[in-house]
Structure 1
């Protein structure tokens, strides 16, 4: 008996670890895609069926830890996944051995699934909710054994209860620990790649993307490429006049407008204090000009609301560079874009400088 229950425990831990390995932080998502919900529900149900193959057979009934996957699914998957899992467990039990015990199993599994879901929705300590759900599962299993096969062995039931609590709580710990580890990993990845204030790529990640573009390592094939450098005009004056906290709001709003007014295939980065860059793969000269002008107008025409209740208008100077194909001149893009940005500032600011477009229009 101890051997079979221990096998149940190891199967539970192994499979939940594998589930998290596959679904990662999505394992905890109750509001997930329909396909993913069905997959998670069916996998949890199949885990319950697998546990039945390593059960203790007592007359027409079998004893195992199949209720643990149902309880955990109720906690982390929601009602739809829980009902799918319960249905799979019920079908599996009927296929293993159709008798009075398997018929009663239909109602017991549905009851445990529904009760666990209702408990999971309560605002209580997670460990207390888990203990309460496991207790209900244990009471149902023990009652069925006493009523159907008249099994009253204290040793059998006490051992089952102990293993059930250990299995439930240990798997609960494994899931919590692994999912939090994935969440922290994603957080660290985000912090390593994105600017915390504006939400665009930080300089290190943008330089990495630029390097990948130069060496054809980007996921999308590149036939032509443009680079935009953008600098906020008189940003130091904004900081001096309104304070650095209000300056941060300006930076954040500029980042938001850049994201909203560029293509989904473009890469946006903050490469300096008030300087941003946009890499535009497969973008023509004319389209680059249109995007740059749109960015300039969206920033200049719409006010930025500060925390102190005031609103201000700010402008940006923009320099653009373009390369046809992936040749030796592509690595000159940052230099050219910086030169064009300097021209835009020298020419009065709040404008786009793009020498390549002028040449294109002359030819």
Structure 2
């Protein structure tokens, strides 16, 4: 019996590990898409059905660990996921055998799942909740053994309870460990690619995007692309007057404004202390000008509320570069954008400088 219980435990651990590989951190996410909830529910239900086929025959009793996936589903899953998993197990049980015992089994499993779901919603220590749910499942199983097959062997019940606890707690820790590992991986990936303060791409990632765009351009020479360099006017005076913490609030607001007022296909990066860049694929000269002007006006017109309650208005200077235009080499885009930004600042700030557009639309 110990050997068979160990096989059940191995199946549980293996399947849950595979589920984590497929669903990653979404495995333990209650609020999820309906399709993913259905898939997770079906997967958990099928695991319980698989465990039924690896039942352990001991005297007239047949035992397995089918309740463990259902308990974990109730603990981690939504009500939809839990319901789907339970239905799969009910169908599987009826397909294997249909008699009074099978219906009693279905009723007991339903009670276990319901109790586990209600326990999972309680504000308690997670380990305590898992142990309590498993205990309820063990009690139900022992009662059924005694009533229907008159199995009162202390050794049988003790062994079953111990393996049930081991299976439930061990799989709980597998799921917890894998979930935290994926969350940390996502966090590290975010920190590697995004600026922690503003939420836009950091300089290294933006340079990668720019380099990738350059390589694509070489393959598609007629493709249009624009680059905006954006610098906050007199940002040093904001830090000096209000402090660096308030300056960080300004940077966050600028990042948010840029994200909200650009296309989903555009790339935004923070490339310096108070300097941002926006890469605009498939953007004509006129649309580049319109986008830059819209961003300048949005930032200038929108007050920024500091933590001390003060509201301030800030402005930005923007330099634009466009390819193909007059450029013969796409790699000159950053150079031209930087030169145009310098012109905007030298001409009084709070303006857009774009020589390619000015040539087409002389004032």
State the TM-score, normalized to the length of structure 2.
0.95
Residue in 1 that maps onto 2:20: 20
State the alpha-carbon separation in 2 of the partners of residues 3 and 79 from structure 1: 35
Residue in 2 that maps onto 1:278: 278
Give how far 1:60 is off: 7.0
Q: How does 1:1-363 map to 2 (within 5 A)?
A: 1-57=1-57, 62-216=62-216, 223-324=223-324, 329-361=329-361
State the alpha-carbon separation in 2 of the partners of residues 319 and 222 from structure 1: 23
Give how far 1:301 is off: 1.1
Give how far 1:57 is off: 3.1
State the TM-score, normalized to the length of structure 1.
0.95
Answer with 14-23 or 60-69: which moved more: 60-69
State the alpha-carbon separation in 1 of the partners of residues 60 and 201 from structure 2: 63
State the alpha-carbon separation in 2 of the partners of residues 60 and 266 from structure 1: 68
Q: Deviations over 1:10-64 (max 9, x none)?
A: 1111111111111111112111111111110110000000011111135775310
State the SS of the aligned residue for 1:322. Answer: strand
Give how far 1:322 is off: 0.7
Mapped contact 1:226–1:323 kept (Cα < 8 A): yes
Give how far 1:292 is off: 0.3
Q: Which structure 1 residue ranges, 4+ long, deviate > 4 Å from structure 2?
A: 58-61
State the SS of the aligned residue for 2:227. Answer: strand
Q: Runs of 5+ in structure 2 lacking a partner?
A: none
Give how far 1:360 is off: 3.1
Mapped contact 1:222–1:282 kept (Cα < 8 A): no
State the alpha-carbon separation in 1 of the partners of residues 59 and 157 from structure 2: 15
Answer with 337-346 or 99-108: which moved more: 99-108
Mapped contact 1:225–1:279 kept (Cα < 8 A): yes
State the alpha-carbon separation in 2 of the partners of residues 324 and 6 from structure 1: 67
Q: How many aligned positions are there?
A: 359
Give how far 1:359 is off: 2.6
Q: Runs of 5+ in structure 1 lacking a partner?
A: none
Q: Deviations over 1:190-218 (max 9, x none)?
A: 1111111111111011101111111129x
